[in-house]
């Protein structure tokens, strides 16, 4: 009897497993079919191959009854009436970037009643995006961000025409892509794109709503609005490449770009509805950590601005990577890695050292927060900025380790995320008379070559 019971239980277990597998297969198939179907259906609204012509937005004389009901709650306001809502229906806005800023901006602009929105993004949805890029979801991983955002908007507001451009905005296509739109939103994540979008907006006379976010901070301004300044008036010279922080290195709290994207949507709605923009010649500086919002007055339009001034030198779009020293930066990193190879070891070499239990010291020079999230088991954390102050401590550690191992000296290795910070840390220790090597490619390379489960991206 018990034998029979056991057999039945076992059979039951196997059948359950099989059901699970089949369900999973079916689910994957429907998702794939769905994506394929969506791509086909939305084809008319996907613009590519340098063909960016779209029909002119049909201007309405009056809102339909459906529209009046749908938007009734925002048309009841004293200062935002039916005329304002009608202006929205006859307006178009282009959002460059469907990431953290773009997600909330697009959601609110798609819901607000704009006649037409355009979305530019060449990237695909990744799992690490989802904590802040709330227009996408788990079922969209691997899908084009532009298409994913379009799909969301179609579900949210089928009356809103949503055109998408699954490509990078460049000096070649920027002017043509922007042409049919009234307002442009910069929701990109890099300095080159910001200068490109600014210049293209000045050259094609579009209002620009620019924002950015990092860690718990955000900034926003409206440019090229009613004779106000442009981005270049405020920032004539781009920052040095090494001074620029990025979300994938410095981190960003998901809600912060969301807040800034909402501010962008608000400004776009006001401008399209014929109300006054609030942040022209003003800068909104948001600090979510200390709960502070500054709204500061900036300089007016600059006569000597190289793109919007009296005698502009930028009269067509330029090479923005060159302008922002991004090319130089890449080359510089290359040279460092080539020149000092005798100061470096590979991940494989370090793995051998670790496996053979050879006495050594490993210092992880990343910031404390990154180290806490993931690190190698035998690493100690001294962030690059604190190396100099800890030079004596490091010397003592090395001495102690050498004594323990009964050797004259033990090697010191430095490690970081990608191998750039660790290389740049070598001279700091050299200055204090400490010899060391660093690990080429850092923990990213470690993940690629040695441990695919290492939690770093």
User: Which spans of this chain sit near another protein (rule: CB under 8 A)?
Assistant: 97, 99-102, 187-191, 194, 211-215, 217-219, 234-240, 242-247, 250, 252, 257, 260, 283, 285, 287, 289-290, 294-299, 385
DSSP of 348-417: HHHHHHHHTT---EEEE-S-HHHHHHS--TTEEE--GGGTGGGHHHHHHHHHHHHHHTT-S---EEEE-S
CB of 159 to another protein, least distance (A): 28
Structure tokens given for 395? 């010397």
At 222, give phi and psi (nearest 5°): -110, 125
Q: Toward another protein, which CB reaches closer, 217 or 438?
A: 217
84 SS3 class: helix
Whole-angstrom CA distances from 188 to 209, 224, 261, 327, 364 are: 11, 18, 11, 19, 31
Catalytic member of 162, 347, 416, 436: 416
Catalytic member of 247, 262, 329, 347: 247
Inter-helix orientation angle 326-339/420-431, to 10°: 60
Q: Is 234 exposed, middle or buried (0-12, 13-18, 19+ CB in 10 A)?
A: middle
Annotated catalytic residue 347: no
Structure tokens given for 255? 């809600």
Q: Toward another protein, which CB reaches closer, 95 or 440?
A: 95
CB of 261 to another protein, least distance (A): 8
The span from the CA of 75 to the CA of 86, in Å, is 10
Q: Toward another protein, which CB reaches closer, 97 or 441?
A: 97
Give the count of alpha carbons within 13 A of 323, CB side only: 20
Q: Toward another protein, which CB reaches closer, 47 or 101?
A: 101
The span from the CA of 215 to the CA of 254, in Å, is 9
Annotated catalytic residue 247: yes
Q: Toward another protein, which CB reaches closer, 9 or 295?
A: 295
CB of 215 to another protein, least distance (A): 8
The span from the CA of 308 to the CA of 259, in Å, is 29
CB of 150 to another protein, least distance (A): 19
Q: Toward another protein, which CB reaches closer, 74 or 333?
A: 333
CB of 373 to another protein, least distance (A): 18
| Strand order across the 437-439 sheet | 344-345, 437-439, 412-415, 361-364, 379-381
- Please give the positions annotated as active site: 247, 416
């Amino acid at each position: 009897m018990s034998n029979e019971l056991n057999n039945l239980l076992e059979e039951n277990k196997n059948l359950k497993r099989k059901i699970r597998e089949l369900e999973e297969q079916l689910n994957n198939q429907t998702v794939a079919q769905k994506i394929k179907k969506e791509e086909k259906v939305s084809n008319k609204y996907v613009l590519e191959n340098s063909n960016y012509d779209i029909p002119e937005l049909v201007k309405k004389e009056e809102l339909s009854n459906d529209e009046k009901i749908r938007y009734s709650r925002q048309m009841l306001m004293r200062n935002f009436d039916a005329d304002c809502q009608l202006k929205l229906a006859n307006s178009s806005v282009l959002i460059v970037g469907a990431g953290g800023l773009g997600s909330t901006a697009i959601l609110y602009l798609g819901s607000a009643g704009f006649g037409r929105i355009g979305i530019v993004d060449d990237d695909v949805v990744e799992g690490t995006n989802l904590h802040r890029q709330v227009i996408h979801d788990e079922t969209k991983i691997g899908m084009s961000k532009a298409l994913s955002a379009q799909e969301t908007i179609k579900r949210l507001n089928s009356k809103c025409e949503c055109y998408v451009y699954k490509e990078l905005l460049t000096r070649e296509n920027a002017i043509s892509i922007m042409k049919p739109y009234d307002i442009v939103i910069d929701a990109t994540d890099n300095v080159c794109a910001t200068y490109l979008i600014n210049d293209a907006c000045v050259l094609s006379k579009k209002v620009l709503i620019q924002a950015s976010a990092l860690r718990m901070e955000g900034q926003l301004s409206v440019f090229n609005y009613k004779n106000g300044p442009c981005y270049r008036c405020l920032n004539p010279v781009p920052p040095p490449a090494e001074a620029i922080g990025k979300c994938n290195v410095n981190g960003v709290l998901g809600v912060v770009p969301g807040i800034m994207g909402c501010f962008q949507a608000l400004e776009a709605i006001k401008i399209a509805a014929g109300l006054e923009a609030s942040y022209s010649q003003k800068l909104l500086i948001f600090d979510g950590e200390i709960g502070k919002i500054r709204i500061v007055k900036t300089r007016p339009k600059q006569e000597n601005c190289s793109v919007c001034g009296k005698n502009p030198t930028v009269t067509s779009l330029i090479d923005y990577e060159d302008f922002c020293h991004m090319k130089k930066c890449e080359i510089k990193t290359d040279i460092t890695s080539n020149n000092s190879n005798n100061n470096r070891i590979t991940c494989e070499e370090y793995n051998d050292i670790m496996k053979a239990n050879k006495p050594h010291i490993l210092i992880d020079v990343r910031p404390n927060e990154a180290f806490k999230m993931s690190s190698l088991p035998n690493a100690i954390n001294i962030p690059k900025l604190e190396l100099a102050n800890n030079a004596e401590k490091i010397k003592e550690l090395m001495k102690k380790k050498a004594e323990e191992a009964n050797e004259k000296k033990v090697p010191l290795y430095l490690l970081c995320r990608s191998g750039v910070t660790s290389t740049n840390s070598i001279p700091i220790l050299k200055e204090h008379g400490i010899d060391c090597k660093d690990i080429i490619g850092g923990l990213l390379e470690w993940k690629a070559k040695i441990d695919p489960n290492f939690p770093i991206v």
